[in-house]
Amino acid sequence: MASLRKKDRSPFWFACYTLPDGRRTQRSTGTPDKRKALCLALKYEDAAREAVSGRFIESRARRVIADIYALANTEVLPNSSTDAFLKTWLNRKSLEADDATHQRYTGVITQFLEHIGHKANADIKKITPTDVAGFRDAAAQRLAVSSANLMLKILRSAFAAARREGLMDDNPAERVTILKQRKNFERRPFTLPELKQLMELADKEWRGMILFGLYTGQRLGDIATLTRTNLDLTKKEIRLTTGKTGRRQLLPLSAPLLDYVKKLPANDAPDAPLFPNAHATVQRQGRAGNLSNQFHKLLVTAGLAEKRSHHSTGKGRDASREQNEISFHSLRHTATTLLKAAGVSDAITREFIGHDSPTVSKQYTHIPTDTLRQAANKLPNILK
């Protein structure tokens, strides 16, 4: 039977109870309250008795620890499953981050929960650096190293919040290293024959996105989520806010791009997406990774890239996938190269493409639209 005793120079009661191996022990209850101390002593002994009978399973152990914590601290022991906490964290982030960033967070968290399987419903304390590293490595097999590293950083932020709230003793993602970028790798621009070949092989929606990529220099995710509200056909302009940098862009619609837009099916909804399939993919996954894979398949069909293999390369899990020298992002390089080849100044080219620079504001460009239109008109028409 559990009992209490006091020791010299200690204000706290000590619980006296029998351990599972039959030995008697004494443990401080951490409280001078005799009634609370006796409750704790009985909890200790109940746990020991269940251990002897073999009924002290994990779930029961957690309940006992939670009861002891509540008695000692007059509050509930912080506890949460990984699934519950990460979804709560996402809800908080919806108030702090813009829509594009929140979609990116949602995509990463959804993929991580799928990756850890049944552990998603277990206590978040069970997440280990091995779980996070496995997720990072799996992402690096499918995506660019930079994308895998970004996903790791998002998990670091989420688990840091769990640690601050007392749900974890440490941050498992902090103990997983950032992957090294592949050295001496540069993407190249497309040649005009390559672009024309892609346009012949692409379906209607991809032809439109390729045109927007070339004639605006914007990123795949920003192009995929364009709606009719971004267009001003009267002024022949396009307005958008980039997802990566939050930079607001006001760009002229070049003649080939304007012709394409005018031929799009009529739609009275002002927020109707220009590219419904691509828009739905980004909304569903919170990122443009699947679209990048689709574009790579188009490059493979055109003979401009090698088919990616899912078989082992023998380089180990930490090895990044082989990157192709051209991708959708290469359209951005292509626009830059063509503008400079046409004699457009660096400053105007930078404003047109939206390259980050210490001297470039995140507000609308201060270079007159007519000047940008002159630059756009110098880009070759790949539809001819």
Which residues span the domain enclosing 334? 192-307+318-376
- Asked whether residue 350 falls in the same domain as residue 216, the answer is yes
Q: Which of 26, 50, 73 is the last residue of a domain?
A: 73
Give the distance from CA 244 to its chain's centroid: 12
- Asked whether residue 68 falls in the same domain as residue 86, the answer is no
Task: Identify how many contiguous H helices and E strands the chain contains and give both numbers.
Answer: 15, 6
* pLDDT at site 367: 62
- Asked whether residue 201 falls in the same domain as residue 332, the answer is yes
Written as one string, the DSSP assignment of 260-323 is HHHTSPP---TT-BSSHHHHHHHHHHSSSHHHHHHHHHHHHHTTSSPPPP-S--SS-TTSPPPP
In a domain, 184, yes or no: no
- Asked whether residue 253 falls in the same domain as residue 351, the answer is yes
In a domain, 114, yes or no: yes
Residue in 214, 186, 185 with CA at minimum distance from that of residue 198: 214
In whole angstroms, give the CA distance from residue 222 to residue 249: 11
* pLDDT at site 224: 94
pLDDT in tens, the chain (384 residues): 789 988 877 788 888 888 777 788 887 777 788 888 888 788 778 777 776 666 545 445 555 554 554 545 554 444 578 998 999 899 888 888 777 788 888 989 999 999 999 999 988 989 999 999 999 999 888 777 888 899 999 999 999 998 887 788 889 999 999 998 755 556 788 998 999 999 999 999 999 999 999 999 899 999 999 999 999 999 999 998 888 777 788 888 988 899 998 888 887 788 899 999 999 999 888 888 889 999 999 999 988 888 866 544 444 433 444 457 789 999 988 988 888 888 888 888 887 877 654 343 333 334 667 777 787 888 888 877
Write down the pTM of the prediction.
0.52
The DSSP 8-state label assigned to residue 91 in this structure reads H
- Asked whether residue 258 falls in the same domain as residue 342, the answer is yes
- Asked whether residue 273 falls in the same domain as residue 300, the answer is yes
Q: At what angle do helices 204-216 and 192-201 cross, to 10 degrees?
A: 150
In whole angstroms, give the CA distance from residue 248 to residue 244: 11
